[in-house]
Amino acid sequence: MNPAAARPSSRPFPYRVVRRARETADVATFELSPVGDALPPFRPGQFAMVYAFGVGEIPVSVSGLDDGEPTLVHTVRAVGAVSRALYGLRVGDTVGVRGPYGVGWDLASAAGLDVLVVAGGIGLAPLRPLILDGLAQPGRYGRLTVLIGARTPSDLLYRAQTRAWGAEAHIDVTVDHPEPDWRGDVGVVTRLLSRGTWSPSRVCAFVCGPEPMIHAVAGELVRAGTPPHRVQVSLERNMRCGEGFCGHCQLGSVLLCRDGPVTDWGRAEPLLAVKEL
Amino acid sequence: MTTSSSVPGAVISASEGLAALVDVLAEDRTVIGPTCRDGAIVLAEISTADELPHGCGVELEAGRYRLVSRPDAMIFAHSAGPQSWKTYLHPQRERLWTVDRDARGRLAFQAEDVAPPAYAFLGVRPCDLRAIAVQDRVLGGGPHTATAYRRRRERAFVVAVECTDPGATCFCTSMGSGPGVGREDGDAAAYDLALTEVLDDEGHRFWVRAGSPAGERVLGRLPHRPGDAPSRVAAREAVAAAAQHMERAMPPVDLHALMAGSLDAARWDDVAARCLTCGNCTMVCPTCFCTTTEDVTDLTGDHAERWQRWDSCFDLDFSHLHGGPVRASARSRYRQWLTHKLGTWHDQFGESGCVGCGRCIVWCPVGIDITEEAAALHAESADRQAAAEETP
Amino acid sequence: MDTGMGPRTVAGRLEALPDEQYDRLMGLAREVSFPAGARLFEEHRAANQFWIIKTGSVALDLHVPGCRAAVIETLGPGDLVGWSWLFPPRQWHMGAEARSTVRAREFDAEAVRRLCGRDPALGYPLVLAVAEVIGHRLECARTRLLDLYGPYGSEPPR
What percent of chain B clears pLDDT 70, i.e. is strictly above it? 96
CA distance linking residue B136 with residue B146, whole number of Å = 9
Give the number of domains in chain C.
1
Please name which of A131, A192, A139 lies closest in space to residue A166, comparing C-alpha atoms.
Answer: A131
When pLDDT is cut at 50, 70 and 90, the band that residue B80 belongs to is confident
Please name which of B206, B210, B186, B209 lies closest in space to residue B196, comparing C-alpha atoms.
Answer: B206
The H or E element containing residue A95 is strand A94-101
CB atoms within 10 A of CB B150: 20
Instruction: Write down the pLDDT at residue B166.
Output: 93
Instruction: Write down the pLDDT at residue B143.
Output: 84
Instruction: Write down the pLDDT at residue B264.
Output: 95
Residues of B in contact with A51 (CB under 8 A): 99
Q: SS3 for A17?
A: strand
Q: Residues B227, B263: one domain?
A: no
Using a CB–CB cutoff of 8 Å, tell me whether A244 touches chain B.
yes
Contact A26 C147 (CB under 8 A): no
Asked if residues C60 and C94 have their Cβ atoms less than 8 Å apart, the reply is yes
Contact C146 A213 (CB under 8 A): no
First-to-last C-alpha distance (Å) of chain C: 50
Using a CB–CB cutoff of 8 Å, tell me whether A269 touches chain B.
no
* Closest Cβ–Cβ partner in A79, A180, A191 for C68: A180
Per-residue pLDDT averaged across C46-72, rounded?
91
ipTM value for the complex: 0.91
CA distance to partner chain C, nearest, from residue B306 (Å)? 25
Residues of C in contact with B324 (CB under 8 A): 155
Rounded (5°) CA angle B357-B363-B369: 65
CA distance linking residue A190 with residue A217, whole number of Å = 6
Tell me, what CATH number does C71's domain have?
2.60.120.10
Most A-contacting residue of C52, C132, C149, C154 (CB-CB within 10 A), to test interface: C149
Of A237-251, B60-74, B175-189, C127-141, the poorest mean pLDDT is in: B175-189
DSSP state string for B178-240? -SS-S-TT--TTT-SEEEEEEEETTEEEEEEEE-SHHHHHHHHTS--EE--HHHHHHHHHHHH
Q: What are the Cα distances from residue A79, in Å, to A47, A88, B321, B322?
A: 18, 12, 10, 7
Per-residue pLDDT averaged across A132-144, rounded?
91
* Closest Cβ–Cβ partner in A1, A56, A237 for B141: A1
SS3 letters for B129-169?
HHHHHHHHHHHHCCCEECHHHHHHHHHCEEEEECCCCCCCC
CA A82 to chain centre: 19
pLDDT at A211 over 60: yes
In terms of CATH, what superfamily is A13-101?
Translation factors (2.40.30.10)
Instruction: Write down the pLDDT at residue C3.
Output: 47
Contact C78 A194 (CB under 8 A): yes
* Closest Cβ–Cβ partner in A240, A250, A252 for B293: A240
CA distance linking residue A148 with residue A161, whole number of Å = 13
CA-based nearest residue in chain B for residue A97: B109
CA distance to partner chain A, nearest, from residue C117 (Å)? 30
Per-residue pLDDT averaged across B331-341, rounded?
97
When pLDDT is cut at 50, 70 and 90, the band that residue A216 belongs to is very high
CA distance linking residue A275 with residue B264, whole number of Å = 9
Instruction: Write down the pLDDT at residue C151.
Output: 66
Neighbours of chain A (3+ CB pairs under 8 A): B, C
CA distance to partner chain B, nearest, from residue C156 (Å)? 7
| Domain assignment present for B147 | yes
Per-residue pLDDT averaged across B252-275, rounded?
97
| Domain assignment present for B1 | no
CA distance linking residue A77 with residue B322, whole number of Å = 11
Residues of B in contact with A276 (CB under 8 A): 326-329, 331-332
Domain residue limits, chain A:
13-101, 107-272
Torsion of the alpha carbons at B62, B68, B73 and B76, rounded to the nearest 10: 30
Task: Give me the domain span that covers residue B318.
Answer: 255-390
First-to-last C-alpha distance (Å) of chain B: 64
CA distance linking residue B127 with residue B351, whole number of Å = 14
CA distance to partner chain C, nearest, from residue A6 (Å)? 37
Query: What sign does the CA torsion over C63, C66, C68, C71 have?
Result: negative
pLDDT at C158 over 90: no
Q: Residues B217, B296: one domain?
A: no
Asked if residues B339 and B259 have their Cβ atoms less than 8 Å apart, the reply is yes
* Closest Cβ–Cβ partner in C4, C57, C139 for A194: C4
Contact A198 C144 (CB under 8 A): no
Residues of B in contact with A7 (CB under 8 A): 143-145
CA distance linking residue B149 with residue B90, whole number of Å = 6
| Domain assignment present for B141 | yes
CA distance to partner chain C, nearest, from residue B89 (Å)? 38
| Domain assignment present for C154 | no
| Domain assignment present for C126 | yes
Pairing of strands A254-255, A13-24: unpaired
CA-based nearest residue in chain B for residue A236: B321
Give the number of domains in chain B.
2
Instruction: Write down the pLDDT at residue B7.
Output: 64
Rounded (5°) CA angle B282-B287-B290: 60
Q: Facing residues of A48 across strands? A: A60
**Neighbour-count burial of B302, counting CB atoms closer than 10 A to its CB (0-12 exposed, 13-18 middle, 19+ buried):** middle
Instruction: Write down the pLDDT at residue B185.
Output: 46
> Final residue of a domain: which of B193, B222, B245?
B245
Residues of A in contact with B144 (CB under 8 A): 6-9, 243-245
When pLDDT is cut at 50, 70 and 90, the band that residue A69 belongs to is confident
CA distance to partner chain B, nearest, from residue A150 (Å)? 18
Q: Residues B285, B240: one domain?
A: no
| Domain assignment present for C60 | yes
Helix axes C19-26, C120-145, angle to 10 degrees: 80
Residue B201 amino acid letter: D
Q: Residues B349, B317: one domain?
A: yes
pLDDT in tens, B21-35: 999 999 999 999 999
Q: Residues B206, B296: one domain?
A: no
Q: Residues B171, B112: one domain?
A: yes
CA distance linking residue B168 with residue B64, whole number of Å = 10
Residues of B in contact with A240 (CB under 8 A): 291-293, 311
Instruction: Write down the pLDDT at residue A10.
Output: 79
For the domain spanning A107-272, the CATH number is 3.40.50.80
Please name which of B41, B33, B36, B35 lies closest in space to residue B60, comparing C-alpha atoms.
Answer: B41
pLDDT at B4 over 60: no
Strand order in the sheet with C70-75: C39-41, C95-98, C58-62, C70-75
| Domain assignment present for C157 | no
Q: Residues B283, B363: one domain?
A: yes
Asked if residues C98 and C58 have their Cβ atoms less than 8 Å apart, the reply is yes
Asked if residues A249 and A215 have their Cβ atoms less than 8 Å apart, the reply is no
CA distance to partner chain B, nearest, from residue C146 (Å)? 13
Of B172-181, B284-293, B332-341, the poorest mean pLDDT is in: B172-181
Q: What are the Cα distances from residue C127, in Å, to B262, B280, C84?
A: 40, 58, 12
Task: Give me the domain span that covers residue C132.
Answer: 6-145
| Domain assignment present for B5 | no
pLDDT in tens, A142-200: 999 999 999 999 999 999 999 999 999 999 999 999 988 898 999 999 989 887 777 88
CA distance linking residue B137 with residue C142, whole number of Å = 45
Q: What are the Cα distances from residue A178, in Å, to A190, B118, B315, C80, C92?
A: 17, 65, 40, 21, 22
Peptide bond into C157 cis (omega under 30): no
CA distance linking residue C137 with residue A188, whole number of Å = 10
When pLDDT is cut at 50, 70 and 90, the band that residue A2 belongs to is very low
Most A-contacting residue of C1, C5, C79 (CB-CB within 10 A), to test interface: C5
Rounded (5°) CA angle C19-C22-C28: 145
CA distance linking residue A4 with residue A162, whole number of Å = 44
A-proximal residues of C, 74-133, CB under 8 Å: 74, 76-79, 99
Asked if residues B267 and B373 have their Cβ atoms less than 8 Å apart, the reply is yes
Q: Residues B222, B266: one domain?
A: no
Compute the mean pLDDT over every residue in chain C, rounded to the nearest whole number: 87
| Domain assignment present for C153 | no
Instruction: Write down the pLDDT at residue A6.
Output: 65
Q: Residues B238, B262: one domain?
A: no
Query: What sign does the CA torsion over C38, C43, C47, C51 have?
Result: positive
Backbone φ and ψ for A275, nearest 5 degrees, come out as -65, 135
Contact C74 A183 (CB under 8 A): no
